[in-house]
A and B are shown apart, each in its own frame.
Chain A
Amino acid sequence: GQSLEQPSEVTAVEGAIVQINCTYQTSGFYGLSWYQQHDGGAPTFLSYNALDGLEETGRFSSFLSRSDSYGYLLLQELQMKDSASYFCAVRCDNAGNNRKLIWGLGTSLAVNP
């Protein structure tokens, strides 16, 4: 079967750095995305990796290792507003030569003062 694994909860303090890991087992692989969701809100796109390496967008970076079927989201200089759930999602094969996006269960990040 196809699956994504990420930790259910992470806690950190303001100003710190936190890494949220995601390992995947999928049929085909075309890219790993990260989404952020604040309580009561809708998921919003953060980043995308198709090739090995690090992609940086401001305080957030995302890393991918295709050979290890592994990626992570790195949040630096944590702020209280970063408290949210973070989902990894993998674009993989679907029936009939199509693609689909499958989702991890999400990691709840709590940033404490």
Chain B
Amino acid sequence: NAGVTQTPKFQVLKTGQSMTLQCAQDMNHNSMYWYRQDPGMGLRLIYYSASEGTTDKGEVPNGYNVSRLNKREFSLRLESAAPSQTSVYFCASSEYERGGEKETQYFGPGTRLLVL
């Protein structure tokens, strides 16, 4: 079991360039998430997908789009990168127990993005 994998690990972009961050999980989880983490800001939810075929905005969706390609894969796209999008991006998937109320999120290793 690889768990949650993300590519790339590092990326440098120029302002205005576009890129897609890839995420895949092999745990058969329905729910997947994209977070960004900035110093002192904790984890902020960008988008999430409760199940294959559905996506919803989180607290900081502006400048991003997502695709839930299938149950395993959830990608994050920056159409026109800005320096404010310099951050570490984490993908996660969720497992539920106790009638659905205990949620455990499993995180990928992160993508470190620098926008110049």
Residues of A within 8 A of B (CB): 8, 30-31, 33, 35, 41-45, 48, 50, 87, 91, 98-101, 103-106
Contacts of B100 in A (CB 8 A): 99
Q: Give chain A nearest CB distance to B85 CB in angstroms.
A: 20
Interface size of B as a range: 10 to 19
A-contact bits for B72-116, CB 8 A (1 contact / 0 none): 000000000000000000100000001011111111111000000
List 7 A-B residue pairs with CB atoms under 8 Å apart, sorted by A's residue number: A45-B106, A50-B102, A91-B101, A99-B101, A100-B45, A101-B103, A105-B40
Inter-subunit contact B104/A33 (CB<8 Å): yes
Inter-subunit contact B108/A50 (CB<8 Å): no
Residues of B within 8 A of A (CB): 40-43, 45, 50, 90, 98, 100-110
Inter-subunit contact B105/A101 (CB<8 Å): yes
Having A31-B102, A42-B107, one finds 12 other A-B pairs with CB under 8 Å, namely: A30-B101, A42-B90, A43-B90, A43-B107, A45-B105, A45-B106, A48-B104, A50-B98, A91-B102, A99-B100, A99-B101, A103-B42
Q: Give chain B nearest CB distance to A23 CB in angstroms.
A: 15
Contacts of B105 in A (CB 8 A): 35, 43, 45, 101
